[in-house]
Amino acid sequence: MTQIALKTEKLTIQFGGLKAVNEFDIEIKSGMIFGLIGPNGAGKTTVFNMLTGVYQPTSGSIIGFNKNLVGLKPFQITHAGFARTFQNIRLFKNLTVLQNLQVAMDQNPKHKKFGLLSTLIKTAKLLESEGEKTAECLSILKIFNLDSRAEEIASNLPYGDQRRLEIARAIATGSRLLLLDEPAAGMNSKETASLMHTIKDVRKIFDATVLLIEHDMKLVMGICERIAVLDYGVKIAEGTPSEIQKNPRVIEAYLGKAATNDQAR
Amino acid sequence: MSKESQNKFAEIPGILGMKGWLFAAAVIIFLHFTLQLGLNAYYFQILMFAGINITLAVSLNLVNGFTGQFSMGHAGFMSVGGYMSSYLTTTYFASNPDMLQNPIISGVIFFFALIAGGVAATLAGYVVGLPSLRLRGDYLAIVTLGFGEIIRVLLLNMNIVGGARGLSGIQPLTNFFWVFIFALLTVFCVWRVVHSAKGRVLLAIREDEIAGTSMGVNTTEGKVWAFSLGAFFAGIAGGLFAHYLTTLNPGTFDFNRSFEIIIMVVLGGMGSISGSIVAAIFLTLLKEVLRPLQQITGYDLRMIIYSLVLIGMMLTRPQGIFGTSEITSLFNYFKKRLKRGAP
Ligand SMILES: Nc1ncnc2c1ncn2[C@@H]1O[C@H](COP(=O)(O)OP(=O)(O)OP(=O)(O)O)[C@@H](O)[C@H]1O
Ligand SMILES: [Mg+2]
């Protein structure tokens, strides 16, 4: 039996008079790579913000790994197994690459937390745990080919690496569902291709489920097993990549525009 | 992968290992007994103020520099701690005056009174922090500023601590040992906290709160925690100050006092412990240098000069003298160069 990683029912949020997301239903099986697409302003990031507790939905339910997530704070949702990246990269800019991961790893529920007293006297247990956490961070960085830059300040990384570091940081939280908001934005086609491999690797290594927002159709169609399409806050279609590509409503709302955009690029 | 290699400061355990800290404590005890013999009283006083200012600047840096929450209420916490400990010692020694004869007993009483002052300040920090740390930037600054004023007005109306007259006849229990042991303890605690998982929580809050909470960091808890710990040491410093001056009134720890500490933190570098120490010493000395100027001109030019120093700093080196680096990274640098140079 496959587990359900995420299920939403009639998820709705209203900003003033605008229903940014309207009765959004989605069900993602564990282990899947799921795409969420739609034109600019369709409400994709808003869905992420509700799923991760940054926004409180006006109505509707969110069940993550069999747990109700509505009303929880973002950090509680991360502990429940969801971690995200941001459309406008939000790294800890002045910290090192390694420290970025350590912050997340410290919150990983599988690692013990230490009180003030142990922190002050640096108990042997604490040092041991720190060593384990660091080793684990470095092994995650290695998957992203960032281990050699562990001591660099995050904001000094090239743009593409910053995006990848954000994914690595999300993994370090120990979450099993990764929500990636436009992970390939600003990457060239070579970087995008390598990112596709990395996402697949990450799913395999960490037994993760991935929900990703992306405008790059090659990436979406290339790695997603299922795709949902949002337009003006409403889900207009859901299916496999080939079903989505054939769906006339999607073509009208989105693919037509995106296809011409792609050619223009 | 060695256990401590994630911590680049750990490369010099001689200084920052437990032995190094204990050695520093031993030096303080040694100086306590030797300095009193020879040092001119005026220089001695400057030294005491410098020590108290180190405690204040380093503890405020935990909040303003490492956690990125701009608090302007440090003097308020000093007040709470100063009044609390002074009230305790004056009441105790009023009924047990003979205990003053015994330096050990009076020292122990003083220690616990200081801790009680620190705890009272911590509680105040918790009470102020819980609602106000949801606010950001300027708003938090204003609330903490208001807190200092509220404390002042409260003290003004509390007859139990003398109201507007204040407290006088506080025993002069503060000495070199207490001032510098607590300065060392503050530096030790802040240093160890900042270079730990707990400290990374604070850094994450400073860097990006939304990213932090999305990575599982309980940011509210982290902020209140930093605020309370900072307040604890401010409370201790308030107690040390009170038992040095031997009088207190509600205006002793006014906004100017908070401002002075903020300048130390900004000047030294927000997020640099060494910077705060250096700036605390520098500004304590500057104040003394400027004292004759005040006598000549008849004006208190200190604040004007402070402001000029601050403006100059902002224009030329906005990150402060040290930025976020520590003096130990300099040691590491030389150590590496030495190694490279060796055959
Ligand atoms: N906090 C907010 N207050 C008011 N309106 C908002 C808020 N957040 C989002 N919106 C609105 O909701 C709509 C959906 O925005 P959202 O950012 O989710 O789009 P998106 O699908 O992620 O677009 P893009 O592809 O450009 O990233 C937009 O009209 C946006 O202006
Ligand atoms: Mg978006």
User: Quick one: which atom of ligand 1 is closest to the CA of A47?
Assistant: 18
User: Quick one: which atom of ligand 1 is closest to the CA of A42?
Assistant: 21
Q: Would an 8 Å CB–CB cutoff place A83 in contact with chain B?
A: yes
Q: Is residue B161 part of a domain?
A: yes
What are the tens digits of pLDDT across the range B170-228?
Answer: 889 989 999 999 999 999 999 999 999 999 999 999 999 999 999 999 999 999 999 99
CB contact under 8 A, B204 and A92: yes
Q: Is residue B23 part of a domain?
A: yes
Ligand 1 binding pocket includes A41 (Cβ within 6 Å): yes
CB contact under 8 A, A107 and B216: yes
Domain boundaries, chain A: 4-94+174-264
**Own/partner pairs for B25-31, CB < 8 Å, 24+ apart?**
B25/B181, B25/B184, B28/B176, B28/B177, B28/B180, B28/B181, B28/B184, B29/B177, B31/B176, B31/B180
CB contact under 8 A, B3 and A128: yes
pLDDT of res. B252: 85
Q: Would an 8 Å CB–CB cutoff place A112 in contact with chain B?
A: no
Q: CA triplet A238, A240, A244: central angle to 5 degrees?
A: 60
In this structure, the residue with its CA closest to atom 7 of ligand 1 is: A15
Of A94, A135, A151, the CB nearest to B207: A94
**pLDDT of B10 higher than 70:** no
- Best of A119, A136, A166 to substitute, by most chain B Cβ atoms within 10 angstroms, is A119
When pLDDT is averaged across residues A158-172 and rounded to a whole number, the result is 95
**Tokens 């300048």 sit at which residue?**
B263
Q: Is residue B336 part of a domain?
A: no
pLDDT of res. A1: 52
What are the tens digits of pLDDT across the range B214-249?
Answer: 999 999 999 999 999 999 999 999 999 999 999 998
CB A233 within 8 A of CB A41: no
Q: Length of chain B, please?
A: 343
Comparing A135-139, B39-43, B195-199, B282-286, the range with the smallest average pLDDT is B39-43
Nearest CA in chain B to A101: B215
Q: Would an 8 Å CB–CB cutoff place A125 in contact with chain B?
A: no
Of A74, A92, A114, the CB nearest to B213: A74
Q: Is residue B260 part of a domain?
A: no
When pLDDT is averaged across residues A8-17 and rounded to a whole number, the result is 93
CB B159 within 8 A of CB B88: no
Q: What is the mean pLDDT of chain A?
A: 91
Rounded distance between C-alpha atoms, residue A166 and residue A157, angstroms: 12
In this structure, the residue with its CA closest to atom 11 of ligand 1 is: A20
In this structure, the residue with its CA closest to atom 12 of ligand 1 is: A20
Distance from CA of A203 to the nearest CA of B (A): 19
Q: Is residue B286 part of a domain?
A: no
pLDDT of res. A256: 55
Domain around B210: 14-253
Instruction: Count CB neighbours of B135 within 10 A.
Output: 14
**Chain A positions in Cβ-Cβ contact with residue B213 (cut-off 8 Å):** 73-75, 78
pLDDT of res. B6: 43
Architecture of domain A4-94+174-264: 3-Layer(aba) Sandwich (3.40)
* Cα-only R_g, chain B: 21
- Best of B62, B206, B215 to substitute, by most chain A Cβ atoms within 10 angstroms, is B215
User: Quick one: which atom of ligand 1 is closest to the CA of A43?
Assistant: 18
- Best of B9, B200, B214 to substitute, by most chain A Cβ atoms within 10 angstroms, is B214
Q: What is the pTM of this model?
A: 0.90
| CA-based nearest residue to A231, from A93, A70, A42, A83 | A42
pLDDT of res. B8: 44
Ligand 1 binding pocket includes A40 (Cβ within 6 Å): yes
Q: Number of folded domains in chain B? A: 1
Ligand 1 binding pocket includes A38 (Cβ within 6 Å): yes
CA of A232 to the centre of ligand 1 (A): 10
Of A92, A113, A131, the CB nearest to B3: A131
Rounded distance between C-alpha atoms, residue B153 and residue B167, angstroms: 15
CB contact under 8 A, A102 and B6: yes
pLDDT of res. B81: 95
Q: Is residue B33 part of a domain?
A: yes
Q: Kindly give, in sequence order, each residue whose CB lies less than 8 Å from that of residue A112, ignoring residues fewer than 6 positions away.
A: A125, A129
CB B169 within 8 A of CB B241: no
What are the tens digits of pLDDT across the range A223-259?
Answer: 999 999 999 999 999 999 999 988 888 888 765 555 5
* Distance set, CA A93 to CA A61, A89, A154, B146, B216 (Å): 34, 10, 5, 32, 18
pLDDT of res. A263: 46
CA of A245 to the centre of ligand 2 (A): 21
